[in-house]
Copies of this chain bind each other. A is one copy, B any other.
Amino acid sequence: MVILIKSPDSIGLVSAISGVMARERANIITMREYVDIEEQLFFARLHIQTESSIENLKQQLEDVLPERAVITVSNAPVKKVVLLVTKEHHCLSDLLIRHHFKSMKAEVQAVIGNHEVLREVSEKFDVPFHYIATEGKTKAVFENELCRQIDAYRFDYIVLAKFMRILSADFVEKYPLKIINIHHSFLPAFIGASPYKQAYERGVKIIGATAHYVTNDLDEGPIISQQITPVNHNFTVSDMIKAGREVEKSVLATALQLVFEDRVFVYNNKTVVFD
């Protein structure tokens, strides 16, 4: 079982939690905690073995923890995800392979594209593909269709695997902390349409990518993971895009694995990652 706790901090929290575990003869395999001292917030993740029930453990933890504590106890089930894509295949392909060989703690329920080009690879792996055109529609109409198609599935997360449409605040609000995106840059980043072109023109020596939750906050939402790759003057814009794709693919897979294993907490537009 995996237990996640987010609580106002106070003296004795760890003692209270581990007291419950001891009483229930739970074997703590890993326990990680973090206190944001300024914010007075306590976070913990426990991976335990026990014969106790989820309900019982949850009840006992509620009895000893502060009222405002948020407690989840689960068998850490394989997550269900819906992938949104446009034309670029690199992130999608990587996730489909991991799905197919069960090397990622999630099952891909469906792929939804605003172009048709990634239907073939999705269906190769027996994953349903849905095409939702954008042409001749308002954003609201498009997003309405998108929501209906997403909501036709049971899912834990919506992954934007190089989905190149900006989602409205309304859409984002419907799925709080359920949408994960891969951003083709560090944050802060070159803003606008062609970040690699800007990176090229600026002559940077490193490019990177950022996986993050999508929120309606000022900028791009809580960062889960970031990675980089060195570049140099020999790199054309096209070489930078290629190098960037490798990083995007890698950082998205890394971030998703962390999320799917329930290792990520979000607060104040940032994350605690118990990796």
Q: Write the residues of chain A forming the contact surface with B, with a CB cutoff of 8 angstroms.
A: 11-12, 14-15, 18-19, 21-22, 25-35, 37, 89-90, 93-94, 97, 100-101, 103, 121, 124-125, 186-190, 201-206, 208, 219, 222-228, 232-234, 242, 246, 250, 253, 268-273, 275
Partner of A18, one of B12, B206, B234: B12
B270 touches A203 (CB 8 A): yes
- Which residues of chain B are near A21, meaning CB under 8 Å? 11-12, 14-15
B186 touches A186 (CB 8 A): yes
Instruction: A225 to B205: give the CA distance in the assembly, Å.
Output: 6
- Interchain Cβ contacts under 8 Å between A and B, 8 examples: A11-B28, A18-B18, A90-B101, A186-B204, A202-B219, A203-B268, A205-B224, A233-B271
- Which residues of chain B are near A272, meaning CB under 8 Å? 233
Beyond A18-B15, A93-B97, whether A226 also contacts B250 by CB under 8 A is no
Q: Which of A208, A233, A269, A272 has the most CB of B within 10 A?
A: A233
A233 touches B97 (CB 8 A): no
- Which residues of chain B are near A18, meaning CB under 8 Å? 12, 14-15, 18
A202 touches B270 (CB 8 A): yes
Instruction: A40 to B202: give the CA distance in the assembly, Å.
Output: 18
- Which residues of chain B are near A14, meaning CB under 8 Å? 14, 18, 21, 28, 31
Smallest CB-CB A-B distances: 6 pairs: A203-B270, A15-B18, A12-B22, A14-B18, A205-B226, A15-B22
- Which residues of chain B are near A228, meaning CB under 8 Å? 206, 208, 228
- Which residues of chain B are near A189, meaning CB under 8 Å? 188
Partner of A190, one of B26, B188, B273: B188
What is the chain B residue whose CB lies nearest that of A43? B233
A204 touches B226 (CB 8 A): yes
Instruction: A71 to B189: give the CA distance in the assembly, Å.
Output: 37
- Which residues of chain B are near A27, meaning CB under 8 Å? 11
Instruction: A250 to B25: give the CA distance in the assembly, Å.
Output: 43
- Which residues of chain B are near A205, meaning CB under 8 Å? 223-226, 273
Q: Which of A18, A124, A201, A223 has the most CB of B within 10 A?
A: A18
- Which residues of chain B are near A202, meaning CB under 8 Å? 187-188, 219, 223, 269-270
- Which residues of chain B are near A34, meaning CB under 8 Å? 30, 233-234
A21 to chain B, nearest CB (A): 7
Instruction: A272 to B172: give the CA distance in the assembly, Å.
Output: 42
Partner of A15, one of B19, B30, B33, B203: B19
- Which residues of chain B are near A224, meaning CB under 8 Å? 205
